[in-house]
Amino acid sequence: MTIIVRITATAPRLSMQRVLDATLGLDVWEVHDDHVVALATEPQAERLLAMGYGVEELAGAEAFVTQFGDEAAAAAYHSAQSLEDDLRRLSEEHPEVAELREIGRSVEGRPIWALRVGIRRGEQRDGTTTFLVLGCHHAREWLAVEVPYLLASHLVTAAGEEPVASWLEQGEVWVAPMVNPDGHEYTRTHDRLWRKNRRPNPDGTVGVDPNRNYGYMWGTLDVATSSHVPADATYVGPRAFSEPEVRAVRDLVAREQVAGVLTYHSYSQLILYPWGYTPDPVPDGTDRQQMTAIGQEMQRLIHDVHGRTYTAKQSSDLYPTAGDTADWTYGENDAPSLTIELRPAGQADGGFVLPPSQIQPAWEENREAALHFIGQILGKP
C-alpha cells in the first residue's frame, strides 16, 4: 500500500536535506523548509520513523486519486490518441503555418508528436531561429499536456496577428505536448500516479524517469530525486539517452538548432532555471541575468492574471536533479531554458490530480508568460 505522507524533523540534529539525500526510494512531491511531502510505501514510512522523523499520513494513494479525479475528469484531459487527433486537426486547418511531425517513437512504439508552427518556406530554412516547448515528461502530470497544447493552438490561430506574425516570419515554434505517451497512457488505465516511462528493467521493475536521462551531468547524483535504483520513481536509467523518448528530443534539438526551451511540468507553481545538478549559479553572467530576468517577468505576468504566485528560482533550490531537460538544453546547447511547474501549489489542492476545471485558468495565467519568453528569443533580430 502506498500513502501520501508529510515528513518533519523532530529533533535539531535532523534535517530535511537528509530525507532528500537518503536512498529510501521515496517519490518526493514537495520540498519545504520544514517538511517534505512524498508518496511512500508503509516500510519506507517505518524506516523514516526509525530514523527519528515525524511521519503524518495525509491520504492513501487510491483515496487521493478518487477524491480529485474520476472518469469524467479523465475525459476532459487528452489521451495520446486525442492529442494526436487535435494536433492533426490544427495542422490540416492551418497548413500555411502548422505542420505535424513525428519526432520519434516511445518504448512501446507510440509516436511522439510535435507541431511545427511557422511560415512555410519549403525546405529552405537556413538561419531560422527555433523555440521549443515540451510537455509531459512525467506521465502523471496531465496538466503539462494541456498548457503546451493550448499554447500551440493559440500560436496557430494568432499567426496573422502581431506580435506572433513577426515572430513566425523570422522563426518558428515547435511544440511537443506529450514526450512520454506510454507512461501517460498507463496513468489512464492502471496507475494514475505513475511517473516514469514503461521501459522494462533487467531486475523486473519498470520505467526510467525521462527527465533524469538527458546527457548533461547525467548520473552525477545518487539521491532520492535522482536515483540509480531501477525501482525508484526518479531512476536515471542505465546510461544517458538510453530512452527513445529522450533521444527524440535530443535529435530534434540538434536538427533544428533550438535557441530557447520552455518545458512544462506540474505541480508547485514554480519557474525554474538552471542549474539543477548543483547549487552553484550559471557561471556566464549574461546568460544568468537573461534567464533570471525572464523568469521574474514571467512570475509577474502570471500573477497579474488570477493572482497566483509562481516563484522564480534556481532549479536546485527546489531539490537536486542530474540529467534534467533544462540543464541539458542550456548546458550542452546554450539555449536559455526554463521549467514551469504548473498549478496547484500543493497536494491538498489536488497535486497531480487536478480537476479539469483548472485547465482553462492555468492556461490563461501562463499564456502571456510563455509569449514573453518566446518573444525574447524570436523577437530579436
What amino acid positions are annotated as catalytic residues? Answer: 341
Cell of 26: 521515496
Q: Is the peptide bond before 275 cis (omega within 30 degrees of 0)?
A: yes
101: nearest Cα among 174, 34, 161: 174
Q: Angle CA(292)–CA(294)–CA(295) in degrees, nearest 5?
A: 65
Instruction: Name the DSSP letter for residue 201.
Output: P
Strand-pair partners of 113: 102
CA gap 338, 335 in Å, rounded: 10
SS (H, E, C) 256-295: HCEEEEEEEEECCCEEEECCCCCCCCCCCHHHHHHHHHHH
- Give 338's Cβ-side CA count (13 Å radius): 31
Whole-Å CA distances, 254 to 248, 251, 329, 333: 10, 5, 10, 8
For residue 195, the Cα-to-chain-centroid distance in whole angstroms is 11
* DSSP per-residue letters across 301-345: HHHHHH----EEEEGGGT---SS-HHHHHHHTT---EEEEEES-S
Q: Is the peptide bond before 344 cis (omega within 30 degrees of 0)?
A: yes
CA gap 185, 198 in Å, rounded: 10
